[in-house]
Amino acid sequence: MTATLGDRVGELRVRRGLTQEGLAEKARLSVDTVRKLEQNQRFTARMNTLNKLARALDVETSALLGPPAVLPSAGNAEPPSILALRQAVTPLSGFPGMGQEEDVPPPTVAELRSSMRGTERIRRQGELTKITALLPTLLSDARSAVRHYTGEERSTSYAMLAEAYQVAATTLTAFGKEDVAYTALERSMEAAALSDDPRLEVVGISTLSWIFSKQGRVADAEHVAVRMAERIEPGFRSAPLDLALWGILLLRGATAAVRAERGDTAEELLSLASAAAARIGADRLDYATPFGPTNAGVATVNAYVDMGKPDKALNHADRIPGLAGLPPTWLARHHLDRAQAYAELRRDREATRALLAAERTAPEWMRYHGSSRHLVAELRGRELRRTSPIKDLALRLEIDG
């Protein structure tokens, strides 16, 4: 790649006036870790390592991974599709004296709901460029609907607007635009409060926890997820949907606890989530988010990878049921976790096979996902053969170097 993770760490370290030893001390990492990254002996790092480096260098974690390399842009400007989405989330019409949003006839509530469900299907496939292109129109349509309708139709339109803003928040976060993602989520919560769906607040907090984790704000990520989970803790007669939303919050909190190096807390939260999944007894998909025995198992594998326990991760991965039923992006993420575990154990051929499985499952997601690109670059650097599957994969992902 034009700029590797190590290149960015080195450049930011020099800007901050730190030596490698100084950065290692500030980040509470070994000097060897910093040195291997900067010398491009390693192209990847666990999330808790990235978060430590980001805090020490005073940047967002996404700044270390770098922007997606495959969206067309002009110079240093944002790609047009990202700029359009940013403008859709923060339109000029939202500021006093800047004019009104164009007043066009709104879609029917049924049409709006159909558009939202179609967007969810594309999102699950990991087709980020399609989502980015569709969201500005969806947001505009939903805003038009809440302006025009009254009563029950208006409340339902607010629910659709809240969901559209949540999808915008997760999409922008995937592209490293956490600033406007946070704004999108704030607007989602405002719309949710005016909707006919009280569960949207829970979904919003789950998304907020994920954004905080991406920003490296792992303590905040854990806090908001666990606090909301305590608020909605289900009882004996709770519906499966409420159990699922509770379990999703627990998984968010566990992810954050792992990255904060609070392994015991993470294990406790994962155990509670797994118990909730077992109680439901089957995998569900609510608000475009899966939960059940399969997703709880996948989250546990991810936690073991982040904790630096590749053997435990792979042993657990072998026992997960129902993987074929996961949405493509979740399944691709699981293949990437397996690849990272194999790579840590220097089982590079198995790591390559897992990466190829991720590519087959969600090819566009692979192109945009920073960790997958860095892992491919690292494995390619360790490959001695002139031609090989990992080098072919690097070419398809347009990884330079």
Per the CB < 8 A criterion, the answer to whether 218 and 246 are in contact is: no
Dihedral class, residue 106 (left if φ above 0, else alpha if ψ from -120 to 50, else beta): beta
- The whole-number average pLDDT for the span 154-178 is 91
| pLDDT over 70 at 163, yes or no | yes
Q: Which domains does the chain have, with CATH numbers?
A: 1-71 (1.10.260.40), 78-194 (no CATH), 198-326 (1.25.40.10), 332-401 (no CATH)
- The whole-number average pLDDT for the span 44-67 is 76
| pLDDT over 80 at 3, yes or no | no
Reported as a single tens digit per residue, the pLDDT across 265-324 is 999 999 999 999 999 999 998 988 889 999 999 999 999 999 999 999 999 999 998 898
Percent of the chain with pLDDT over 90: 58
Q: What does pLDDT average to over the chain?
A: 88
**Count of other CB atoms within 10 angstroms of residue 44:** 24
| pLDDT over 50 at 376, yes or no | yes
Confidence bin at 70 (pLDDT 50/70/90): very low
Amino acid letter at 173?
T
Reported as a single tens digit per residue, the pLDDT across 176-194 is 888 899 999 999 999 999 9
Closest CA to 8 of 73, 55, 53: 53
Under DSSP, the state recorded for 319 is: T
Confidence bin at 157 (pLDDT 50/70/90): very high
What integer pLDDT is reported at residue 62 of this predicted model? 65
What integer pLDDT is reported at residue 98 of this predicted model? 62
For residues 64 and 8, which has the higher predicted lDDT (pLDDT)?
A: 8
Separation of alpha carbons 299 and 270, rounded Å? 8
Per the CB < 8 A criterion, the answer to whether 203 and 287 are in contact is: yes
288 φ, ψ to 5°? 65, 15
- CA distances (Å), origin 92, targets 65, 207, 270, 401: 31, 25, 43, 42
Q: Which residue in this structure is represented by tokens 């989602």?
A: 188
- The whole-number average pLDDT for the span 12-19 is 92
Confidence bin at 97 (pLDDT 50/70/90): low
Polymer length of the chain: 401
**Count of other CB atoms within 10 angstroms of residue 351:** 25
For residues 43 and 14, which has the higher predicted lDDT (pLDDT)?
A: 14
- The whole-number average pLDDT for the span 48-68 is 76
Percent of the chain with pLDDT over 70: 92
What integer pLDDT is reported at residue 48 of this predicted model? 65
Confidence bin at 93 (pLDDT 50/70/90): confident
For helices 151-174 and 80-89, the axis angle rounded to 10 degrees is 140
What integer pLDDT is reported at residue 69 of this predicted model? 45
Amino acid letter at 350?
E
Identify the helix (H) or strand (E) that includes residue 284.
strand 284-286
Provide the whole-model pTM.
0.79
Q: Nearest-5° angle of CA 232, CA 304, CA 201?
A: 20
What integer pLDDT is reported at residue 94 of this predicted model? 66
For residues 300 and 91, which has the higher predicted lDDT (pLDDT)?
A: 300
Per the CB < 8 A criterion, the answer to whether 209 and 216 are in contact is: no
Closest CA to 175 of 260, 252, 89: 89
Q: Which of 130-144, 212-226, 296-310, 331-345 has the lowest mean pLDDT?
A: 130-144
